[in-house]
Amino acid sequence: MQNRQIKLVSIDIDGTLLNDQRVITPAVKAAVQAAVAAGVYVVITTGRPRTGVLEVLQQLDLMTGSHYVITHNGALVARTDGQETVYQERLPLPALEQAFAFAKEQGVYIQAESDQTAQTLDRAINVWASQENDVVRLPLRVVDDVAAIEAGGFVKALAIGDEKQMDAVQAAVPASLAAAANVVRSTPNNLEFMNLSASKGQAMLALAAKLDIEPAATMAIGDQENDLTMLEAAGLGVAMGNAVPDVKAVADVETADNNHDGVAKALDRYVLSALD
In the Cβ-directed half-sphere of 275, how many Cα atoms lie within 13 Å?
16
DSSP label at residue 71: E
Residue type at 143 in one-letter notation: V
In the Cβ-directed half-sphere of 148, how many Cα atoms lie within 13 Å?
11
**Known catalytic residue: 227?**
no
Distance CA 9, CA 78 (A): 16
**259 CB neighbour count, 10 Å cutoff:** 16
Asked if 259 contacts 250 with a C-beta cutoff of 8 angstroms, the reply is no
Asked if 219 contacts 207 with a C-beta cutoff of 8 angstroms, the reply is no
Q: Helices (DSSP H) in the chain: which residue ranges?
A: 26-37, 54-59, 93-106, 127-135, 146-152, 163-171, 175-180, 200-210, 228-233, 245-250, 262-267
Distance CA 19, CA 13 (A): 9
Catalytic site residue from 12, 115, 223, 227: 12
Residues designated catalytic: 12
